[in-house]
Amino acid sequence: MSQDLLKTPLHDLHIEMGGKMVPFAGYEMPVQYALGVRKEHIHCRDNAGLFDVSHMGQLRLHGENAAKALEALVPVDIIDLPAGKQRYALFTNEQGGLMDDLMVTNFGDHLFVVVNAACKEQDIAHLQANLPADVTLELIEDRALLALQGPKAVDVLARLNPAVADMVFMDAAMMDLGGIECVVSRSGYTGEDGYEISVSADKADAFARSLLANEEVEWIGLGARDSLRLECGLCLYGHDIDTTTTPVEASLLWAISKPRRADGERAGGFPGADIILDQIATKDVSRKRVGLIGSSKAPVREGAKLFDADDNEIGIVTSGTFGPTKGQPVAMGYVAIASAVIGTEVFAEVRGKKLPMTVEKMPFVPQRYYRG
Question: What is the tens place of the pLDDT at every residue in 125-161?
Answer: 999 999 999 999 999 999 999 999 999 999 999 999 9
110: how many CB neighbours lie within 10 A of its CB? 16
Nearest to 278 by CA among 235, 244, 249, 315: 249
- Among 210, 231, 252, the domain boundary falls at 231
Q: Is residue 267 part of a domain?
A: no
Last residue of a domain, one of 211, 231, 251: 231
As a whole number, mean pLDDT of residues 362-366 equals 98
Q: How far apart (Å, rounded) are the C-alpha atoms in residues 332 and 311?
A: 19
Q: Which domain holds residue 31?
A: 11-52+142-231
| 44 & 148 share domain | yes
Strands (E), the chain: 20-24, 27-32, 48-52, 57-62, 85-92, 98-106, 110-115, 136-140, 143-149, 172-177, 180-185, 194-200, 217-219, 287-294, 305-307, 313-323, 328-336, 345-350, 353-360
Taking 60 as the threshold, does the pLDDT of residue 76 lie above it?
yes
For residue 174, the domain's CATH number is 3.30.1360.120
Residue 144's contacts (CB-CB under 8 Å, 6 or more residues apart) are 8, 9, 10, 52, 54, 198, 199, 200, 201, 204
225 and 146 in a common domain: yes
Residues 173 and 48 in one domain: yes
Instruction: Answer with the one of 190, 210, 231 that is the final residue of a domain.
Output: 231
Side chain identity at 308, as an amino acid letter? D
Based on the domain organization, do 163 and 226 belong to the same domain? yes
pLDDT for residue 300: 97
Mean pLDDT on 65-86:
98
Percent of the chain predicted with pLDDT > 90: 98
- 327 and 182, same domain (yes or no): no
Residue 337 pLDDT: 98
State whether 148 and 227 are in the same domain.
yes
339-357 pLDDT, tens digit each? 999 999 999 999 999 999 9
Q: Give residue 286's pLDDT.
A: 97
CATH of the domain at 297: 2.40.30.110
For residue 3, the model assigns a pLDDT of: 63
Is residue 230 scored above 60 in pLDDT? yes
Number of compact structural domains in the chain? 2
Mean pLDDT of 300-312: 98
Q: How confident is the model over 237-257, as a mean pLDDT?
A: 98
| 8 A C-beta contact, residue 25 and residue 117 | yes
One domain, residues 191 and 306: no
For the chain, what is the mean pLDDT?
A: 97
pLDDT at 2 over 90: no
Q: CA 98 to CA 115: how far, in whole Å?
A: 13
Residue 360, pLDDT above cutoff 70: yes
Question: pTM score > 0.75 for this model?
Answer: yes
* Same-domain pairing of 210 and 309: no
Residue 367 near residue 193, CB atoms below 8 Å: no
The tens digit of pLDDT for each residue in 251-294 reads: 999 999 999 999 999 999 999 999 999 999 999 999 999 999 99
Q: Specify whether the CB–CB gap between 340 and 361 falls below 8 A.
A: no
Do 223 and 298 belong together in one domain?
no
Residues 218 and 147 in one domain: yes
Interval 15-62: pLDDT, tens? 999 999 999 999 999 999 999 999 999 999 999 999 999 999 999 999
